[in-house]
């Protein structure tokens, strides 16, 4: 695949009601805000929220699927900006903002079904 400045790609993922539990098992992050709906309500979150790193993993998977090889991803960073609830749909849009020295810089917009940015300042570097 030839990567060029201005190129775009998209993907979306629905967060099933068990995703935070699966991720807790894989990551060891059993914070009650992720696994106990009543606790999440008690602290004002409205229920359980997805681990931020799982949200980032959705964005990362979008980039590696587009690149065609996980090994091409050299760097990714983001700012966690809003909670993701169970049953939310996360949409990712990537735009290649620069290509030089064998690397493509990709800016990502990551939003929920209401258009709220759940990750901000998401940037990835991909080997071209």
What residues are labeled active site?
29, 34, 49, 52
- Helix (H) or strand (E) run with residue 91 in it: strand 89-100
Q: Are residues 17 and 40 in contact, defined by beta-carbon separation less than 8 angstroms?
A: no
> Sign of the C-alpha dihedral, residues 96, 98, 99, 105?
negative
């Amino acid at each position: 695949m030839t990567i060029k400045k201005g190129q775009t790609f998209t993907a979306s993922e629905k967060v099933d009601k068990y995703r935070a539990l699966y991720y807790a098992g894989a990551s060891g992050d059993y914070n009650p805000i992720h696994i106990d709906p009543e606790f999440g309500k008690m602290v004002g979150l409205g229920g359980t929220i997805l681990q931020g790193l799982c949200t980032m993993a959705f964005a990362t998977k979008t980039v590696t699927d587009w690149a065609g090889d996980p090994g091409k991803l050299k760097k990714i960073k983001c700012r966690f900006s809003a909670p993701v609830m169970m049953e939310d749909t996360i949409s990712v849009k990537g735009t290649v903002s620069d290509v030089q020295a064998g690397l493509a810089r990709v800016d990502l917009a990551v939003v929920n079904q209401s258009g709220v940015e759940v990750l901000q300042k998401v940037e990835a570097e991909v080997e071209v």
